Chains A and B, each alone.
Chain A
Amino acid sequence: MYWKDYKRPGSVAEALALLEHAAGRGRIIAGGTDLTLQLRQRQSSADLLVDVTGIDGLGGIGEKDGWITIGAAVTHAEAAGNPLVRQAARALAEGCGQVGAPQIRNMATLMGNVISAQPAADAAVPLTALEAEIRVVSTTGERWIPIEEAYLAVGRSAIDASREVATEIRFRKQENGVQTRFFRLAKRKALTLPVLNGAVSILADPTTKRIRRARIALGPVAAKPFRARRSEACLESVEISPELVEEAARIAAEEASPRTSLVRGSAPYRKAMVRLFLARTIGEMLAVG
């Protein structure tokens, strides 16, 4: 048997009680597009699956006290088509629209994309550029985890789905003037993991001609979605120019540490692509270069 029981609780408290009763052999499931497969291929094991998609309050996308909130049951298709996400965080809508295939996007959740802890996740990379946080509830209380701290290693999340329930993703509503973009390089246009993806968030000040804030997240160039912090600092350092964009892209390529992979290409190639795609994306956003 791949799993022995499947429950669909109506509340977070009930889900936690089920997990507690299963004593480490329970597992939260949402869309199930990763977990169902892992269990059936025996890459992972669990006795009890606790489906949280029917829990009231985990469903919507909203705006509250300056934060955009995305419930744990929200799918990539919903986020990609949601007017609030499209307007407030275009990079996230773009990333969500590129995950897997339409059938996958109709089931798979953004929360699952984060907790599956793959460094190339097309939703998690823009969420990293947006400095998102994850709300995690357990029997002992609740906490907010910055998305970068949600990763322990490739495929290993800091959120323990056998003991706690991740309920919500939130990120600050971006100030007026902030632009975000997502880019993706893959062997085909659909149904394939990216060779490289990235999200950029930029707030440019037209009066000083400087970038007030830059955030760059890249995948899969490290064990988790990677913030190119030196490149960000470079962009914020002096007046905007084509040379600045080139320099920031060069630094990001230096910071990134992709491995040579038979599937994704050699490390030097992937570094060159980081440079190319970042220069192109930031250049287009600033209309320079």
Chain B
Amino acid sequence: MADKKKMKLKVNGVWREVETRPDRILLDLLREELGLTGTKKGCEAGECGACTVIMNGRAVLACLVPAAKADGAEIMTIEGLAGKGGLHPLQQAFLEAGAVQCGYCTPGMLLAAKALLDTNPEPSLEDVKRAISGNLCRCTGYTKIVQAVRAAAVIVRAERSGAAGPQDAVKQAKRAAHR
């Protein structure tokens, strides 16, 4: 039996030290050692996207990442998405658009969308569809999810530019969502 492996990773802004089996995958490390069960275990085979987290700025599937690969990495899970001021615009937009039904795909969807908006704040319809193409949802039919991501993009842009007040941004976003 090989020894447990000591590793350090920054999860949702906080450095955590863990000792874990050398053959852990990141998904189990997050859920079982760190108690972050918001990252969902779906297929465990890289097919469904439910376990999507953001590692060093990129969306990855936690079920396919050996935990040891994440030693020293920066990880964002769904638990880290909402800010001090409340829900992230993506989360708010998902609520308002009715983009959540059973909710199992939602954490992965939100993080796939977050990774998109971080690099492309003005995504086209195609960009959004491609960004969530690795995330399966068996409830919504995706339409409302896509609308929500596009609506959130408007708010994120407005927040970044600081030009429009939050109220204007929300109005604009709602218009965009219904377009």
Contacts and interface: CB of A to CB of B under 8 A. Distances in A.
Interface of A: 1-6, 8, 29, 32-33, 36-37, 39-41, 49, 51, 53, 77, 100-104, 106-107, 189-191
A102 B130 contact: yes
Q: Is the interface of A mostly helix, strand, loop or mixed?
A: loop
A33 B5 CA distance: 21
A77 B69 CA distance: 18
B35 to A, nearest CB: 22
Contacts of B65: 32, 36, 107
Interface string B117-134: 000000000000011011
A32 B64 contact: yes
A205 B135 CA distance: 45
Interface stretch (B9-17, B42-50, B82-90, B169-177): B42-50
B66 A103 contact: no
Contacts of B115: 102
Interface in B55-87: 58-61, 64-66, 68-69, 71
Contacts of A191: 47, 133-134, 136
A264 B159 CA distance: 47
A51 B68 contact: yes
A106 B60 contact: yes
B144 interface: no
A157 B107 CA distance: 37
A51 B112 contact: no
A195 to B, nearest CB: 18
Given A6-B23, A8-B71, A32-B69, 5 more contacts: A4-B2, A6-B5, A6-B66, A33-B46, A33-B64
A53 B72 CA distance: 14
Interface of B: 1-2, 5, 21-23, 25, 44-47, 49, 52, 58-61, 64-66, 68-69, 71, 112, 115, 130-131, 133-136
Contacts of A104: 46, 61, 64, 134
Nearest to B23: A2
B112 A102 contact: yes
Given A32-B64, A36-B66, A100 B46 contact: yes
A37 B64 contact: yes
Nearest to A190: B133
Given A33-B64, A189-B133, A190-B134, A106 B23 contact: no
19 contacts: A1-B2, A3-B22, A4-B2, A4-B22, A5-B5, A5-B22, A33-B46, A36-B25, A36-B65, A37-B45, A51-B66, A51-B68, A102-B59, A102-B115, A102-B134, A103-B49, A190-B130, A190-B134, A191-B133
Contact of B61 (A2, A49, A103, A190): A103
A53 B133 CA distance: 26
A37 B46 contact: yes
Contact of B64 (A1, A2, A36, A189): A36
Given A29-B66, A36-B66, A3 B133 contact: no
A77 B134 CA distance: 14
Nearest to A106: B58
Contact of A101 (B23, B66, B68, B134): B134
Contacts of B136: 191
Q: Which 4 pairs, one residue from A and one from B, show the smallest C-beta to C-beta distance?
A: A101-B134, A190-B133, A6-B68, A4-B2
A2 B66 CA distance: 11
B2 A5 contact: yes
Contacts of A6: 5, 22-23, 66, 68-69
Nearest to B58: A106
A29 B112 CA distance: 25
Nearest to B48: A191
A55 to B, nearest CB: 14
Given A4-B23, A6-B22, A106 B46 contact: no
B50 to A, nearest CB: 11
A77 B130 CA distance: 12
Given A32-B66, A191-B47, A100 B22 contact: no
A84 B23 CA distance: 37
A100 B47 CA distance: 9
A101 B52 CA distance: 11
